Chain A
């Protein structure tokens, strides 16, 4: 099973600033990686797939990069609605699909 590790656990950033979230895989997942956003009491929302392709409706301020074992989600200029928990998910070796433990993005 591929273990996904996200860092940091919590990230404090001011609105308008850039946020950089990291995700590391225990073995290569090529570019088979997705990112999700989850707000309290809501289902997750797909943001990025294929490591860097934005899903329908994902604002351009969200960008994904990386391949192999190291991945990054960057939010270029934080808006109030972006404060949430973010999860990465690998689908290179499945089953099982595995998620990272999440990064909580909070307002500084």
Chain B
């Protein structure tokens, strides 16, 4: 079964840091681009970052550049999102997702999400 399981969410004060993890199973993790997508309470989806199969290319939405770092450990089938200088507007459910293989960018496998709450 294709599966992604996120962890690491929680309550953090503004300016604080948090590290999210996502463990993959049921597929060859090292063969896929991976993505983080977030969803603020009651809001739509927002792409946050992605990373190439070997970690050599990373992309970020402007609002998190310089604060968030995406990285992966293919030996552990794991994806990470390190978050610093957190702001109220970073409060969201954070999903990790697998990008489809080939030239299309659909996210065809999703985790259940982990909740990040930034509040004093």
Query: Nearest CB to that of A57 among chain B residues?
Result: B108
The reply to whether the CB of A7 lies closer than 8 angstroms to some CB of chain B is: no
Number of A residues, CB within 8 Å of B: 26
Instruction: Determine chain B's interface SS by DSSP, over half rule.
Output: strand
The reply to whether the CB of A67 lies closer than 8 angstroms to some CB of chain B is: no
Q: Is the CB of A94 within 8 A of B106?
A: no
A81 to B46, CA, bound (A): 24
Question: Which of A32, A43, A50, A98 is the one whose CB lies under 8 Å from B113?
Answer: A43
The reply to whether the CB of B60 lies closer than 8 angstroms to some CB of chain A is: yes
Query: Nearest CB to that of B46 among chain A residues?
Result: A99
Q: Is the CB of A94 within 8 A of B105?
A: yes
Query: Nearest CB to that of A90 among chain B residues?
Result: B105
Q: Is the CB of B44 within 8 A of A102?
A: yes
Question: Which of A48, A53, A56, A99 is the one whose CB lies under 8 Å from B47?
Answer: A99
Q: Using Cβ atoms and an 8 Å threshold, which residues of chain A touch B100? A: 46, 49, 55
* A53 vs chain B, min Cβ distance (A): 8
Q: A95-B59, A96-B62, A99-B46 are in contact. Are A49 and B111 (CB under 8 A)?
A: no
* A91 vs chain B, min Cβ distance (A): 3
A-B pairs, 3 with minimum CB distance? A91-B105, A49-B106, A43-B110
Name A residues whose Cβ lies closer than 8 Å to a Cβ of B: 32, 34, 36, 38, 43-46, 48-50, 53, 55-56, 87, 89, 91, 94-102
